[in-house]
Structure 1
Amino acid sequence: MKVFKKIVDLQNALFEERKQGKEIGLVPTMGALHEGHASLVRRSVGENGVTVVSVFVNPTQFNDKNDLKNYPRDLEADCALLESCKADYVFAPEVEEMYPTPDTRHFEFPPVSTVMEGAHRPGHFNGVCLVVSRLFYIVRPDRAYFGEKDWQQIAVVKAMVRQLELGVQIVECPIVRDDDGLARSSRNSLLAPDERAIAPAIYQALKSSVTYAKKHTLKQTHDKVVADINKVEGLDVEYFSIVDGNTLQDVAEWEDSPYIVGCITVYCGKTPIRLIDHIKYKEA
């Protein structure tokens, strides 16, 4: 496995791989890697001749400077995990390499980019599109792998790929959870032990609501999930949206769509740490 800091060095290596007819898989990450990322890498290794993993904490997608400052970073540990997964190349550039000049492009894909995370984190998805589009132009992958935990992000990236006609296949991979149900996330490493102990209540509330929803209205289900989580000391729901799985627009009744997903963001602990998750109520 080789680690590259410079765009030109990575591109030269990939040029030689393409000459041999190899397909290229890309796993974009911000580092602090865990088993969820590892599952994406292993899938890419199985489906492509070459796998590139980017490790880059992208400043343009943070609307909170403290969040950016405190985001966990450990490139040495990340590389050890990636080598065990048989990744071929790691691309770990400095900010100045990715953004030698300010990137003034603006991406907006309503309605999928303007609701939920888009509404609560202004500029977040524009920053995601800035860095992901740059990575696609640099690597020119055949396939790119994203975890379903960032479910709304996948919808936004797909919209960007369509608009820019990038020709990249977006591969969605299932959420990897700990034994207690908590979705694997780089942010989990920021949780204190007492905070980590209460965080699984988020998924427990979501999971139990699937059964509850079968005999109750959509609003009753929504309110129960919020109440169940908020009654846990140290957890505070920022939003819980039950939406059409394609348009990401709120639905009022279960009959309004054949594909319905509940998306939630919860603040955990005193710091607090922002955790996201989702559950599928109906899937076409």
Structure 2
Amino acid sequence: MALNLQSTTTLHNGVNMPWFGLGVFKVQDGEEVYNSVKWALEHGYKSIDTAAIYRNEEGVGKAIKDSGIPREELFITSKLWNGDQGYEETFQAYQASLDRLGLDYLDLYLIHWPVPEQDKYRESWQAMEELYNDGKIRAIGVSNFKEHHLDRLLEKAEITPMVNQVEYHPHLQQKSLYDYCKKHNIQLEAWSPLKQGELLTDETLMEIAERHGKSTAQIILRWDLQQEVITIPKSVKQQRIHDNADVFDFELTNAEMKLIADMNKDDRVGADPDEMNNR
């Protein structure tokens, strides 16, 4: 598919979401996150993904404001943290995120983890549906939900999540979840697409990269896009932010896609969603 940095996919509610964005997990609030977002926006990124637990929403918001880019041209995501789940708590947490970001609305709000042991994600979802129906969020979704979490959510949900953001990279391809989301028209989004850097020296990826005159990171990010998975690589280096986005001038062949598909190990760097607790 012919894409560029501003290309979007249409979520099932008709909202357009960029295929490519900047993630700011573990980016320090203040100058570090401000510069990361500033450099990304200057380079043409339109999508920024943060979360309450990242504790950098204020810096993200300041960079957005100082960019001078009209708000409607940007796509801003944040997430509801585990300890803030619950019906009333979700409204409070949403408003707190908005206040820190200095925004009037979010483009996408996600339940960060299902946290099965506290079992509050269904009441949290009810609150998110109300925020969505009131026009305070353009799209709502979940993060780190497996199929059975989604099944349980959908038993009572009036609105199917528009997005499921999960750990997704060549070593963790979650094929059954990928197929489930396709079937239910839930857009899959990859966090940690580079497996926190672990994949950058993989021999298979390095060989493919050499053939295309690209980096291993660029190969992985292109692989995401060709599978119609939104990707949000994180970096705090200006050149890396630019390089990560340089994935729109080549295509992986079917044979190369198969080589990468064969790399799956079901190996996580993050927590298993069934074991993530309220921390």
TM-score, structure 1 normalization: 0.28
Structure number with higher strand proportion: 1
Q: Which has the larger radius of gyration?
A: 1
TM value normalised by structure 2: 0.28
**Larger RCO (CA under 8 A, 6+ residues apart):** 2
